[in-house]
Chains A and B, each alone.
Chain A
Amino acid sequence: EVQLLESGGGLVQPGGSLRLSCVASGFTFSTYAMTWVRQAPGKGLEWVSAISGDGAYIYYADSVKGRFTLSRDNSRNTLYLQMNSLRAEDTAAYYCAKNLRDGAAAYEYWGQGTLVNVCS
């Protein structure tokens, strides 16, 4: 059974930093691209960042480029999102998702999400 477990969310002041983690199980982690998608309170879904299975290719939304850094540790089956210079508009539930397959960035499995609240 595929499981994705996010952690690391919380309350942070504007300008602060957080690191989100997503521990994966139930599939061969290193062979799948992974993605973060966020959802502001009461709003729709927004793609944030994605990384290839080997970590060689990383992509960011313009809204987070230069502030967020995505990485993965395939030996630990873990995905990380380092979030710096946080803004109020980054407040959201952050979901870790497993891509369907290489070249198909549809999201087959999702974690339950971790909440990030940027507030002074």
Chain B
Amino acid sequence: ENVLTQSPGTLSLSPGERATLSCRASQSLSSSYLAWYQQRPGQAPRFLIYGATSRATGVPDRFSGSGSGTDFTLTISRVEPEDFAVYYCQQYGSSPITFGQGTRLEIK
């Protein structure tokens, strides 16, 4: 099983600051099969990034994904008030599908 470890567990920032969220895989991901999701309280996850770097339809360009192999990053260039949420990475390159434990982005 490819274990995904996200860091930090909680990230405290002010609106307008840059957010950098990390996701590390225990095994190298084939073809960068990594996705990112945002989950606000009481809501279903929202699809943000796939293929490590491609933004999903309708996702603002302040969200960007990077990385390959075992190290991946989600960057929010300037955090907006609606971005405070929990973020999950997910690998879909090997079975079973696995998710990271999440990073909570909170208002400082």
Contacts and interface: CB of A to CB of B under 8 A. Distances in A.
Secondary structure at the B interface, as helix, strand, loop or mixed, is loop
A45 B92 contact: no
Interface residues of A, number: 22
A107 to B, nearest CB: 6
Interface in B18-75: 33, 35, 37, 43-47, 50-51, 56
For chain B, which range describes its interface: under 10, 10 to 19, 20 to 34, or 35 or more residues?
A: 20 to 34
Interface in B60-108: 88, 90, 92, 95-102
A109 B48 CA distance: 11
A11 interface: no
B26 to A, nearest CB: 16
Contact of A47 (B33, B46, B97, B102): B97
A45 B50 contact: no
A112 B44 CA distance: 5
Contacts of A112: 43-44
A44 interface: yes
A104 B47 CA distance: 13
Contact of A62 (B46, B47, B50, B96): B96
A118 B72 CA distance: 36
Contact of B96 (A61, A104, A110, A113): A61
B47 A107 contact: yes
Contact of A108 (B44, B47, B99): B47
Given A45-B45, A100-B50, A112-B44, A106 B96 contact: no
5 contacts: A45-B99, A106-B47, A106-B90, A110-B47, A113-B44
Interface of A: 35, 37, 44-47, 50, 59, 61-62, 95, 100, 104-113
